[in-house]
Structure 1
Amino acid sequence: MYRLVMSEKFSFSEVAAMDLDTLLEANAALDIHIEQENKRNKKK
């Protein structure tokens, strides 16, 4: 839960209001986003 907030992509109130499925989906989306950023940074 705090991982999403600490990423500064979601506010605490947004994360607190999420149901479990939405929370899991947001975590997966954050993983994909971080992976894409890492790939982009390696190309530089």
Structure 2
Amino acid sequence: MLCFLNFGLNGLKAASIHILAVILVACVQFLRRPPARADGRS
């Protein structure tokens, strides 16, 4: 954690972009796959 803080704003900006990218990919994969409940009922 200490070495992560040493990066400063550049490290924080890169980390935030990386986190946003991971969340975006997770949302895309979740939306691509139809919900099991809705697909099973209909």
- The aligned length equals 32
Aligned to 1:41: 30
- Which structure exhibits the higher relative contact order, with contacts defined as CA atoms closer than 8 Å and separated by 6 or more residues? 1
TM-score by length of structure 2 reads 0.60
CA distance in 2, matches of 1:25, 1:34: 14
Of Structure 1 and Structure 2, the greater helix share is in: 2
Cα deviation, residue 20, structure 1: 0.8
Percent identical across equivalent pairs? 12
Matches within 5 A, 1:20-39: 20-39=9-28
**RMSD between aligned residues:** 1.5
Greater CA radius of gyration, 1 or 2?
2
Which ranges in structure 1 are unaligned for 5 or more consecutive residues?
1-12
